[in-house]
Amino acid sequence: MEKFRNNNSESNNNNDVNNDNDISNRIHNSNISNDVSNVSKSNNNVSKEIKLISLFSLPICIIEIIFKQLLGGNLIDISNLDIAYCCHNGDRQKLLTIIEDPYIRYDKFIFNSRHLVNNGLKWISMRKINIKNLSTTSDINDNGLIELSKHCIILETLNITNCNHVNQITDLGISEISLHCKNLQCLQIYRCHGITDLGIKQVVNNCSQLKCLDIRECNRITDRGLKEIAHSCLLLESLNTTECYRITDVGMIEIATHCSNLKSLTIGVCKKITDASLIEIANHCFNLEELDIYRCSLITDKGLIAIGQHCHMIRSLNVNGCFQNISDNSIIEIAQNCHLLRSLDTSGCVQITDIAITEIGRNCAHLQILDISGCYKVTDTSVIEIANNCPELYLLNVYRLFKVTDTSITEIAKHCPLLSRLNIYRCQQVTDRGISEIAQNCPLLESLCISGCNLISESSIEEIKNNCNRVKILR
């Protein structure tokens, strides 16, 4: 992203020349160059001998095409928009006419610079540019959000990450956004340590259309904030409270009982959440599709069995790191009732055996992702069931499963042609035979981890490289 220039007269004059050059080059290189050429030839105000084309010498319909070509969609350098900014009164009026057209929106602004974010938001506000989606990394502060809120009333998605300092993004900035951007539907304020329950209250009271809320690692938000969310965000479909250490069953039960439209719930490392929350989620949120309880050490089979019995729409389940608490009993319940399951992560759940994984294979034909790393009781028996019944599988992680051999890897190769990621780290019984089968049957393979597999030689590795053009091998 170019640095923002001061709006003095000298820089404006220089910019007009540079911008005309830039526009000319872009027009000649675009798909609309022929149309622009025809228009310019018919325009009495533009001489055929002039090589440079002034943007505002063109009809509005052509300018709109240019705007949509250069600015609509994946805009990552907002300095590009400055080529259309002109200080002449007639041209300025024409530009404002275009900008105020409700059918032209400048979506998906992404700020990657660490020092220009606040100036960028001020720049947007001064030019009265409507933005629908905005994503920023660190170094934004309350001043930037206040500037953004002045004009971007159609804002629907705001993603702010890594504002670690408590005085950087506070309740003040997020409250200003909520007061003016009432169409907000998705708010991600990941690791914004300055936001408290008060800021959350302002957001949910003003933004009634909110469907997606991500407050990961916002460690000053408590059950009080969750209660405000529950009572105001009746349309909420996605909630992420990962590592919000102050949240307990009290707040999560409020979410369960009031947000029945919930489809995605991520509560990883919320160490005060217990089975009581999952039971209430199961009893009220029947449309739940994604559940992530990563390292929730107080959740056991009891809560997960309730999910299996009532939430039959589950497509993604992550119980990674629940260690001793999750066993075959709950995974079997999931397998027998949640036939739409596409992603399952039980890594580190050492009580899981072939019994549960076999049930997954026999009942979940659409499974695409399976991570059973560290489930050391799992053997070839259940992996073969996965291979024979889950043809859509594209990711398999059997990290440190010492009982997995060529037998199951060969079956995976023969029946799972979409396989793109395979991790057999320290699967010491896998040899060249298994890898050769993967090479011959899985041309879409992109990632293969064979570290610690001492029986795999260079010959099979070369075969993989020759048959799988995009593969990256970790060893």
Each residue's pLDDT, cut to its tens digit, for the chain (475 residues) gives: 333 333 344 444 444 434 444 433 433 343 333 443 443 444 444 334 434 445 555 666 666 565 555 544 433 333 333 333 344 445 545 555 554 444 444 444 555 544 556 766 776 676 666 778 888 766 788 988 998 888 788 889 999 988 877 778 999 999 999 999 999 999 999 999 999 999 999 999 999 999 999 999 999 999 999 999 999 999 999 999 999 999 999 999 999 999 999 999 999 999 999 999 999 999 999 999 999 999 999 999 999 999 999 999 999 999 999 989 999 999 999 999 999 999 999 999 999 999 999 999 999 999 999 999 999 999 999 999 999 999 999 999 999 999 999 999 999 999 999 999 999 999 999 999 999 999 999 999 999 999 999 999 999 999 999 999 999 999 9
User: What is the C-alpha separation between 86 and 245, in angstroms, rounded?
Assistant: 51
Specify the 3-state DSSP secondary structure of 252. Answer: helix
> How many separate domains does the chain show?
1
Q: Which of 316, 296, 133, 132 is nearest to 238 (CA)?
A: 316
User: What is the C-alpha separation between 52 and 395, in angstroms, rounded?
Assistant: 53
Q: Give the pLDDT of residue 64.
A: 59
Domain assignment of residue 17, yes or no: yes
Q: Give the pLDDT of residue 62.
A: 65
Pairing of strands 316-318, 343-345: parallel
Paired tokens of 37: 């050429």
Residue found by looking up tokens 């690791």 in the block: 191
Domain assignment of residue 137, yes or no: no
Domain assignment of residue 237, yes or no: no
Domain assignment of residue 331, yes or no: no
- Which residues have CB under 8 Å from 182's CB, separation 6+? 153, 206, 207, 208, 209
Q: Which domain holds residue 37?
A: 9-99
Domain assignment of residue 13, yes or no: yes
pTM of the model: 0.78
Domain assignment of residue 24, yes or no: yes
